[in-house]
Amino acid sequence: MAQDFSFYNSLTRKIDKLETNEPGKVSIYTCGPTVYHYAHIGNIRTYIMQDALVKSLEYAGYEVKRVMNITDVGHLSSDADTGEDKMLAGAKREHKSVMEIAKFYTDAFFKDFQAVGNKMPDVIEPATNCIPEFIHMVEVLLEKGFAYQAGGNIYFDTSKLDDYYVFSSALEKEQLEVGVRDDVEEDTNKKNKTDFVLWFTKSKFEDQALKWDSPWGVGYPGWHIECSCISMKHLGERLDIHCGGVDNMFPHHTNEIAQSESYLGHKWCGYWFHSNHLNDRAGKMSKSKGAVLTVSLLKEKGYDPLVYRFFCLQSHYRKPLEFSFEVLDSTVAVYNKLVKRVAEFKEDGVVDEKVKEEFEAKFRETLSNDLNTSMAITILYDALKADTNDATKLAIVKSFDKVLSLDLIGHAAALSEEAEVDPELLKYIEEQIAKRTEAKKAKDFATADAIREELLSKGVEIKDTREGVKWQLI
């Protein structure tokens, strides 16, 4: 039986106990990436915290089904339906087709997504797979009087709603409305400032690469409609939890609720889980600033992607988190000490199930109280210091890693393997690494590469990392 689970619900603006539509089962929808560029580490922070939510729910005894969309059409450069389609902009930038861009950046996204220990969603659906569903929803909204046609586009009429601003208080409404059009050209086809496009037909974007036949002419969907339709296609008419970043809350998630509940005629999703921004010293991370810092780039610089996950888990998902390489270097040192501590444990002895269950109960309770991952890590440290045998501690680490996904056991095993290497071989490896380091300092890269190949021929793989050169037997 699943344990009680609570987290901050953006819809009610308080911590709510989760009451699912089907007992013991949770349906989760995640806003996926717009695949016109690489996902930066700020984007990945959001997905790490969503992964922690999924795994914490599973740890609490729930059966979880998670769906994620891939936006490969319809997302304009402004979230408020103005500017150029991001996919088309990416295709122009790289002189490729939109589908080539979508394939390349989807693959790049999931490479980084998995590198930080995330579990793949149960369903991944590109927007371009669901055009019939989008058209059907637009037809129903027109029939019900929630949508209208103007200037060649189909718009959702927000004036038909009793409360459009579902995530915000009355005092915030004016500020939010101004934000919809603070730096873009006004769309004069709209009846209301907050109306949004459901389907583009004869729009000003004549060079749109992807278009489909519809009852209103050849066109393409607006951005917001895809999440509603993809969620309903795979999770039904009543969704338990919708996840995203805080920047998606308005207008994207606001618009999703407006169109979904108008289409369905009943409440769609009762729980909304939003993660806060990752900032650098210049502010919120953004692709528009130029260079994109990705997980793959961190890896190239010698950082283990799981160290970045550890960095994120040490902070609460609702708090802004500031990134710097200095802080990440400190996290590397802490993570390595943790691995070294685990590597000292021996699997001899019998697991004390009572002690293990006591720590698992504390861990589960902490995660079930607004996903407190930083406190969960503190409980891990408490377990490592507990007055119990090594076998029990290792069992607790394995159990906790179902959620933390830091691969502490795997890294500890690799460290132990290095410690057990024949002393003569160890001496040889260290000498060769030292020679290679000197060769690199002298810019004698041919010699450095030759030493790497020689070590590889003897079953020793070396890697350059921020902490220095690491090696492992293969």
Per residue in 21-53, pLDDT (tens digit) is 999 999 999 999 999 999 999 999 999 999 999
Q: Are strands 269-275 and 239-245 parallel, antiparallel or unpaired?
A: parallel
Q: What is the mean pLDDT of residues 110-137?
A: 98
Task: Give the angle 65-68-69 at the CA atoms, nearest 5°.
Answer: 145
3-class DSSP state of 255 = helix
Phi/psi for 16 (5° steps) reads -115, 145
Q: How far is 293 from 296, CA to CA, in rounded Å?
A: 8
Beta bridge partners of 262: none
Integer Cα distance of 40 and 63 in angstroms:
30
Q: Which CATH number does 6-286 carry?
A: 3.40.50.620
Q: What is the CATH number of domain 324-414?
A: 1.20.120.1910
All CATH 3.40.50.620 domain ranges in the chain, comma separated: 6-286
Quote the pLDDT of residue 92. Answer: 80
Question: Helix or strand or coil: residue 46?
Answer: helix
Entry pTM: 0.86
Helix (H) or strand (E) holding 155: strand 153-156
Confidence category of residue 458, pLDDT binned at 50, 70, 90: confident
Note the Cα 416 to chain centre separation in Å.
32
Q: Given a cut of 80, is residue 75 above it in pLDDT? A: no
Decide: helix, strand or coil at residue 250.
helix
Q: Decide: residue 441, CB within 10 A, 0-12 exposed, 13-18 middle, 19+ buried.
A: exposed
pLDDT of residue 101: 87
Domain with CATH 1.20.120.1910 in the chain: 324-414
pLDDT digits (tens, 9 = 90+) for 379-406: 999 999 999 999 999 999 999 999 999 9
Q: Residue for token digits 């500020």?
A: 175
Residue 422 confidence (pLDDT):
63
pLDDT at 174: 54
